[in-house]
Structures are given as structure tokens and as C-alpha cells.
Amino acid sequence: MSEPTSDADKATSGEFPAGPKPGPRNTTFFDDPVKDGLIRAVVTLGTELSVTRDRMRSLELLLRDSGIISADAIDQLVLDSEEEQARVADRQRLIKDLIGPLAARLG
Amino acid sequence: MPNSVGFAPNHDEAARQAFVGGLKGYINFALEGQLQRLFDEQLVPEQEAKAPGSLASRADGEALLADNPLYNLWETLTFHSQNQMWDSVADTADRTMDKQIAAFEDILANPRTDGTLKLQDSLVVKAPIATTEIHRQPGGYWRETRPHDLAAGLNYAGTVDLYRNAKGMGTGGKVGSDSLGQLLAGVAKKYAPDLEPKAILDLGCGTGEQTLAYKRVFPAARVTGIDCARPLLRYAHGYAQSEGVAIDFAEMDAGQTDFADGSFDLIVSIIMFHETTQAQVRDILRESWRLIRPGGLALHLDVPYQPSRMPLFKQVTNHWQVRNNGEPFWTGFAEMDMKDELATAGFDPGATFANYEAVGPATFYFFGGRKGVSE
């Protein structure tokens, strides 16, 4: 078995293989590229909605099966300041991700 | 497992990857099916009525669809879902990288089988692997940014079954499934029922999941996998060791290997040929002929997209993948006559084959040949 030790030298000298030249990531196909952007934003939102739904279902299954909380515990929850700020930051990032590419396209 | 190499998404990553797989499947079948009906039942008859005989080529079909909004929707969703696929697996690769590399280094120090990994600093990665992000994988197959980098291998491994299942070319496998290797081994037994291979070579083995199948099916054989993408080979070695399967992996160009004449009695590949140039296809076939022992079998599985069996609409959408989605050699490969190419490489034309095998909804293209006992 031989894994050349030259990798360590490359790490310090910055000589790792760069890989191929990056290909296009933002090709558009409609007459107006804003249409592409809007459709992709909706699909991305749908993806994250699906992930969130899956997580909620898993969480609620685990909580219910382990008897940790009652069925109405979520509706009774009051957030502390740290949690509230974290949620604000998450929302802002999502908004930026949604609107940013469209705004960039429009100049 | 803490000391194993393998693609390991957490709950949300797995959910995201599953959604992207489902989305790609919808685009490939429901949406593309709707588009095909529009093309065949409305656009083509209208065009033929206006200008009879004007749809003679793939380019004519492309022109007919170019400005159609349903086609534009298919295009933008196909492109975007490919971005989403790479983004979703990169989440897993980036999050687990430190542990994966630690596991790989532990395997190097404490091997679990007598399988080996041989890398060659002298190997020059050639085009197209050197120059092209195949499947638009960011960084391609050989970008490295740190010692013992596994990123390209992790990213690739995370998409293999997602992509194949969404294209109808999977066998329902999950990440790490060796189902295509098992399929190929079964087909090998059909073409050479008397062959009990002692040495097997897997060309373009990539992340190695399918290579494991050959050792599992032919446990008495020494199995070697070669590829020119170092991060993929690292992953392959780590994964095989983690699975306790002894495979020798080596960094080599399949068109110019270091092996002696007649070193193998079974030479295989899975979806390698359509990822390279026609010139390299010929180099690889010639090299395979040199490496195979008398009585041995060469057997390759690839995409079933030969134009002669594809309606005009599918020729258009497949060629779109060539132009826009990191499949630059798909059309070039599909237009080659592999039986002719095998014969040119040295195989007896009477002992070559190029056939299609259906497995459930999927169809695979198998080609290869046997070397006569006296050759």
C-alpha cells in the first residue's frame, strides 16, 4: 500500500491539483432570464419545505413515541431572546438567497 | 461507523437528496413525457404540414423546440436540479470531511484487508477528465485542496444512485449499492459460463462500489480497479476496506496501463466509455485486448442511447445533456459501432457482441468479446 507523502508537501506549497475549469452554473433558457430565476427560486423553496416537513414528522414521531411532550406543547412554547435572534438570522439568510440571484440578474 | 469511509448524510441532508432525486425523476419522466407528446402529436405534425420533410435531423428537432416554453421549463429545471444535486451532496461531504479523512488515514495505517492502493505521482491526467466537469460536478473528479482529499469521491458517491435511479438507469440501489456490478457479473456468466476468473480488472472504477461486486461474486479472483482520478480512488480504497472487501486500486490510465500482457481473464467497466473521447475509447479497447488472457472476456456496460434506436425527440433531449449538463461525450460514444471498434482493437469479429439487456424499467447496453483460447 502506498499513499505518497508528497501530499503534505503540496499542502504547504499550494500545489494541489486545481481540477478542470469551472463550468457554467447559471445558464438560463427562457427569453427572459428572470423567468428561469423565479422558477428556480420556487423549486428551491419547495425543496426546503419538503426537508422541513420530513424533519418535523421525524421529530414529532420521536417526541410522541418517547412520551416527552404532549400533543399541544408546540403551541404553548415561548421563545427566549437567543432563539428569537437565531430565527431572525435564518429568515434573513433565506430571503437573501431567494431574492439575491433575481436582483443580481436585474442589475 | 466512526472509522469507516462512506457517504453518510444526516437526516436533513438525506431528506434534501431524496427530494432532489424525486424532482429529477419527475423532470425526466412526467415532464419530459409531456414534452414528448407535445412534440410528437402537435409540433411535428404542424411542421410537416407547413414544410414536408423539414425534420430530417436532430438539429431540425432542436430548432423546432428551441423557443417552446414547455421545453424551456424542462431545460431550466433539468439544469437547476443538477445544481441542487451537487449542492445537496456537498453539504454531506463538507460536514463529514474531517472524520472521513481521519478514517481513511486510520485505514492506511491499519489495513483491514490485503487490498492495496497504489497512486502514481507521474500520471498526467489527460483531457477530458483534466478539462471537463463531467456531470457538472464542481471541481470535476480530480480537484484536491488538502492532504488525502476525499471530496470528489464523497460528492460522486453521494450522487451515483440518486442520478441513475432518476434516469431510469438504476436498479433501485441506495448509496453504496453494488447492484450494477452484480448485474454485470451475472451477464458475464451468461456470455462465458465456463469462465472462472482468477484476475479481474475494473476500468474507470471511480468510487469503487461496483468493483466490490466482482469480488463478492468471484471470491477466488484477485480484483483490481483502476482510475485516473485520485480522490475517487482514495474513497474507493477506504470504502472497500471499510466493507472488508479486498480490492487492489491503482491510479492508471485505462488506455495505457502498467500491467503485463494477458494479466486478466475478465475485464469490465460500467458507464466509463461514454465519459471519454472516441480516440480514448479506441486506446482503451486496444489496451484491453493486450491485457486479456486467451479464453478471457471483456464486458462493458454503458448508456443505451444509440441514435438508431432513439426517436428524434430523445435525440434532442439527450444532446441537450451533451451541450448543457456535463455529458460532452455521450453523443460521440453513442454514434460509435462498438462491434466494429472491438474488431479493430483485435477481437475476433465472430466473438464480439453489442446487445441490450432490460432490467425492470431500465435498459443497459452491453458490449465486449472473448479472446480465443489460441489467440
Q: What does the alpha-carbon distance between residue B158 and residue B92 come to, in Å, rounded to a whole number?
A: 8
User: What's the pLDDT at B171?
Assistant: 54
Phi then psi dihedrals of residue B192, to 5 deg: -140, 70
Express as a percent the part of chain A with pLDDT over 70.
85
**Which residues of A are less than 8 Å from B11 in CB distance?**
54-55, 58
Q: Domain residues for A60?
A: 32-64
Distance from CA of A31 to the nearest CA of B (A): 8
- How many Å lie between the alpha carbon of A57 and the closest alpha carbon of chain B? 11
The answer to whether residues A25 and A40 touch, using CB atoms and an 8 Å cutoff, is no
pTM: predicted TM-score of the whole model, two decimal places: 0.89
Q: How confident is the model at residue A4 (pLDDT cuts 50, 70, 90)?
A: very low
Instruction: Give the tens place of pLDDT for each residue, A60-107.
Output: 889 988 999 887 888 788 999 999 999 999 888 888 887 777 777 766
Domains contained in chain A, number: 1
Record: contact B142-A23, CB cut-off 8 A? no
Residue of A nearest to B138 (CA): A22
pLDDT of residue A11: 45
Contacts of A11 in chain B (CB under 8 A): 146-147
**Cα dist. B365→B1, B301, B354 in Å?**
36, 6, 7
CB contact under 8 A, B111 and A1: yes
Q: Residue A3 and residue B131: Cβ atoms within 8 Å?
A: no
Cα of B243 vs its chain's centroid, Å: 21
Whether the CB of A13 is below 8 Å from some CB of chain B: the reply is no
Among chain A residues, the shortest Cα distance to B105 is held by A3
Residue of B nearest to A41 (CA): B80
Contact B19 A47 (CB under 8 A): yes
What residues of A are in contact with residue B19 (Cβ under 8 Å)?
Answer: 46-47, 50-51
pLDDT tens sequence for chain B (375 residues)? 458 999 999 999 999 998 999 899 899 989 999 999 999 999 999 999 999 999 999 999 999 999 999 999 999 999 999 999 999 999 999 999 999 999 999 999 999 999 999 999 888 888 878 888 999 999 999 999 999 999 999 999 999 877 776 776 655 555 678 989 999 999 999 999 999 999 999 999 999 999 999 999 999 999 999 999 999 999 999 999 999 999 999 999 999 999 999 999 999 999 999 999 999 999 999 999 999 999 999 999 998 888 888 999 999 999 999 999 988 888 889 999 999 999 999 999 999 999 999 887 788 999 999 998 777
The residue among A12, A47, A48 with the most chain B CBs within 10 A of its CB, best to mutate, is A47
At B204, list the grid cell.
474507470
User: Which helix (DSSP H) or strand (DSSP E) does residue B248 occupy?
Assistant: strand B248-251
User: Could you tell me if the ipTM is greater than 0.90?
Assistant: no
What is the C-alpha to C-alpha distance for residues B299 and B365, in angstroms, rounded to an integer?
10
Whether residue A54 is contained in a domain is answered as: yes
Indicate yes or no: CB of B121 within 8 angstroms of CB of A31: no
* B contacts of A14 (beta carbons < 8 Å): none
Q: Is residue A76 part of a domain?
A: no
CATH topology of domain B114-370: Rossmann fold (3.40.50)
Q: Closest Cα of chain B to A61: distance in Å?
A: 14
- Residue A93: predicted pLDDT: 87
How far apart (Å, rounded) are the C-alpha atoms in residues B41 and B47? 11
Are B146 and A13 contacting, i.e. CB atoms less than 8 angstroms apart? no
User: What is the distance between the terminal CA atoms of chain B, rounded to a whole angstrom?
Assistant: 48
Q: Which residues of A touch B116 (CB under 8 A)?
A: 1-2
The nearest CA of chain A is from the CA of B312 a distance in Å of: 21
Per CB-CB distance under 8 Å, the chain B contacts of A58 are 11
Cβ contact B79:A33 at 8 Å: no
Determine the residue of chain B that is closest to A31 in CA distance: B67
Listed by start position, the domains of chain B span 114-370
Distance from CA of A101 to the nearest CA of B (A): 13
d(CA A50, CA B165): 19
Contact call for A23 and B80, based on CB within 8 A: no
Contact A3 B72 (CB under 8 A): no
Residue A25 domain flag: no
For residue A72, tell me if it sits in a domain. Answer: no
User: What are φ and ψ of residue B220, in 5° steps?
Assistant: -80, -10
Q: From the candidates A10, A12, A25, which should be mutated to test the interface with B, based on the most B CB atoms within 10 A?
A: A25
Asked if A29's CB is within 8 angstroms of B76's CB, the reply is: yes
Quote the minimal CA–CA distance from A27 to chain B in Å.
8
Instruction: Name residue, grid cell 414521531.
Output: A61
Contact state of B80 with A39 under an 8 Å Cβ cutoff:
yes
Positive or negative, the Cα torsion across B14, B15, B19, B25? Answer: positive
Nearest to B15 among A29, A35, A55 (CB): A55
Nearest Cα to Cα of residue B301 among B341, B263, B267: B267
Cβ–Cβ < 8 Å for B65, B39: yes
Cβ-defined contact of A6 to B230 (cutoff 8 Å): no
